[in-house]
């Protein structure tokens, strides 16, 4: 699909998007969740952004209102599906924010837009993720036993202990979490010409899962400037320090509006 066939389908009509109508919005911010995450993580953000920024949280299959749909296991398939969604929202400028798995999705989706001749994001926010060139041997968490996977989830400290202890609830959640980890496991970085999109790299100072050097190497993926911003907190700092993160997002987007 190319730029001359972009449509402007209302975001509310797409099962992929959770948003609120803003008739005066000048820019859309598409937000991509972490592994096992959903639009729920971004719900507090809707009222915190400037009124000229329309937040569009991405809802992947298998969760929320899409619980009955099978989750996506293949990274390339997901990017193709999301590319169609982004192309349908081509009536105004946009930016991407992705956290952890979502950062890789946002990065690859930006490259997809370049390949297809679509309008590019005005800004790319990558959060809690090292540069993709370092993902040469991603651990296959999706192949772990349930007990091993629960230990890993506790280690990331993003799932409330009471949820992890609820066996019936985890029986519903684990298939989606496995599917998302399979996406990571199947991901293969491909060197390409650098993006021409300004990039902000966000990281938690106490995030033991993302090394500082891998964060700095995001600068090799764009020729339009890349800045690293560190916040207090661990892997899920973006939601623990939402006010500070959103202040940065608003400041950066003000420069491209």
Instruction: Give the H/E segment covering residue 153.
Output: helix 146-156
* Assigned token pair, 139: 């651990």
Comparing CA positions, the residue from 52, 48, 45, 109 lying closest to residue 77 is: 109
Q: Of the listed 100, 127, 129, 200, which one is catalytic? A: 100
Nearest to 236 by CA among 34, 38, 58: 34
Clarify whether 88 is annotated catalytic: no
- In angstroms, the CA 138 to CA 186 distance is 8
Query: What is the distance between the alpha carbons of residues 245 and 202, in angstroms, rounded to a whole number?
Result: 8
Output the DSSP codes for 147-208. Answer: HHHHHHHHHHT-S-HHHHT-HHHHHHHHHHHHHHHHHHHH------SPB-S-EEEEEETT-T
**Nearest alpha-carbon partner for 61 in 71, 74, 49, 51:** 71
Residues annotated as catalytic (active site), given as ranges: 100
């Amino acid at each position: 699909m190319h730029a001359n066939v972009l449509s402007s389908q209302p975001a509310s009509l797409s099962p992929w998007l959770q948003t609120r109508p803003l008739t005066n919005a000048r820019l859309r911010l598409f937000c991509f969740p972490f592994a096992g995450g959903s639009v729920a993580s971004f719900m507090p953000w809707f009222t915190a952004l400037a009124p000229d920024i329309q937040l569009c949280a991405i809802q992947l299959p298998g969760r929320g209102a899409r619980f009955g749909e099978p989750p996506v296991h293949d990274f390339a398939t997901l990017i193709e599906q999301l590319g169609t969604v982004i192309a349908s929202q081509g009536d105004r400028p946009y930016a991407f924010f992705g956290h952890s798995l979502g950062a890789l999705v946002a990065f690859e989706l930006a490259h997809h837009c370049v390949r297809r001749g679509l309008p590019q994001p005005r800004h790319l926010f990558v959060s809690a993720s090292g540069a993709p060139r370092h993902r040469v041997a991603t651990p296959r968490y999706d192949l772990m036993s349930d007990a091993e996977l629960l230990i890993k989830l506790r280690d990331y400290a993003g799932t409330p202990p009471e949820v992890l202890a609820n066996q019936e609830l985890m029986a519903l959640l684990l298939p989606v979490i496995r599917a998302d980890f399979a996406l990571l496991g199947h991901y293969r970085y491909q060197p390409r010409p650098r993006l021409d999109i300004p990039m902000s790299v966000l990281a938690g100072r106490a995030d033991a899962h993302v090394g500082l050097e891998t964060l700095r190497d995001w600068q090799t993926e764009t020729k339009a400037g890349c800045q690293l911003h560190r916040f207090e907190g661990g892997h899920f700092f973006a939601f623990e320090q939402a006010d500070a993160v959103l202040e940065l997002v608003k400041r950066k987007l003000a420069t491209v509006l």
